[in-house]
Structure 1
Amino acid sequence: MSRKLLVMVGAGLLLATSVHAPAALAQVKPPSTPDEPGGRWGEAKKKAVDIGSQPARDVGMSKREIPPILEKAFNDPYSLKGLKTCRALASEVTNLNAVLGADYSVGNEYTENRAGKLAEAGGKTIINSIIPFRGLVREVTGAAPADRHMNAVVDAGLARRGFLRGVHLKQGCKTKF
């Protein structure tokens, strides 16, 4: 990819993110396929918004909200309180899927949009260069600890989903997620 094209892509991302920066993402999801609602362009727009709002999060002006179901998972990922039926287990897994994105599926082929990944990396580089001493600023403002907490609650959500799927299977449940 030529340098001129990379600069144009970076500038486009910068423009897109400056227009939509306040609407930061709160959910963690895998990339959508072109035939899903939103498709590649919807996913690209979400990434652009996320990248563009990063400086506001870095200085503490904007924060990502953690979905309550992930906080619940963080506090006790292996609890079965209130989940006595197959339907309740399936409902909890479905709620986790809504926040975390689709679970791993055997046989899915991994594909990647290389041009999209290059544009994303370029956009992140441009945006992240706005704040000097970014790492230190993120620690002082609390953005880095907030990101570490977000990663921890996502990990807990993934653990909880796997645990609940195992319980669902062990109980011989036939309900779908």
Structure 2
Amino acid sequence: MTLCRLIAIALIPLLATPRTVQAQTATPTPKPPPPITRAAPSVEDVATTPLSDLNIRKKGVPDILIRAQAAPYGLTGMGRCSAIQKEVSKLNAVLGEDVDAARRSGRKVIPGKVAQDLVGGILPFRGIVREISGANAENRALQQAIYAGFARRAFLKGVGLQKRCGYPARPG
């Protein structure tokens, strides 16, 4: 047998494999990101604190919060309860549970927050570095967007209550 023929015979199973693999492999659904207002930072948040302080790692403002800033009390497209429920659910996914549904842990010390503060303490003159790098400005912009998101969610729940919508389009 020639070398070309051996290579061709070896490649035949590989050519048939993609269809088989594609049929057997389900595309995993991407895990939604955690709410940006969660109390306890993740391990990733703790590990990347110095990068955030230097404004190298930027989280950015989620699109729904940008829209909330632009029109926190807008009702365009919110004529039906289902639209209000969908919008409130999207806000809940980004902001975390609203005060009417939040469960209190009663815990005073949050280990992840302590770890993040310890890692953040490694950087000398952290406050000045954050200001110069723009990390504080980015954080202020995110906090303003979060505030607009809270206002939008509360407004929509009020509208949902008036329309007698079901939860989550009304307070629970």
TM over 0.5: yes
Unaligned runs of 5+ in 2: 1-32
- Map residues 56-95 of structure 1 onto 2, 5 A cutoff: 56-95=51-90
Distance change in 2, residues 1:48/1:176 (3 Å): closer
The answer to whether the 8 A contact 2:45-2:116 is kept is no
In 1: Cα distance, 2:47 partner to 2:72 partner: 32
- Map residues 10-159 of structure 1 onto 2, 5 A cutoff: 27-30=35-38, 47-105=42-100, 110-114=104-108, 117=110, 119-159=111-151
Identity of paired residues, percent? 33
Unaligned runs of 5+ in 1: 1-24, 32-42
In 2: Cα distance, 1:176 partner to 1:109 partner: 16
Instruction: Report how many residues are paired.
Output: 137
Displacement over 3 Å in runs of 4+: 174-177
Structure with bigger gyration radius: 2
The answer to whether the 8 A contact 1:26-1:67 is kept is no
In 1: Cα distance, 2:95 partner to 2:103 partner: 19
Q: Deviations 1:98-150 (Å, cap 9, x if unpaired)?
A: 111111227x6632345x62x33431332112211111111111100000111
In 2: Cα distance, 1:173 partner to 1:154 partner: 24
Task: Kindly report the root-mean-square deviation, in angstroms, between the aligned alpha carbons of the 2 structures.
Answer: 2.3
Distance change in 2, residues 1:110/1:78 (3 Å): same
Q: Provide TM-score, normalisation by structure 1.
A: 0.68
Instruction: Name the counterpart of 1:5.
Output: none
Q: Provide TM-score, normalisation by structure 2.
A: 0.70
The answer to whether the 8 A contact 2:34-2:93 is kept is no
| Counterpart secondary structure, 2:146 | helix
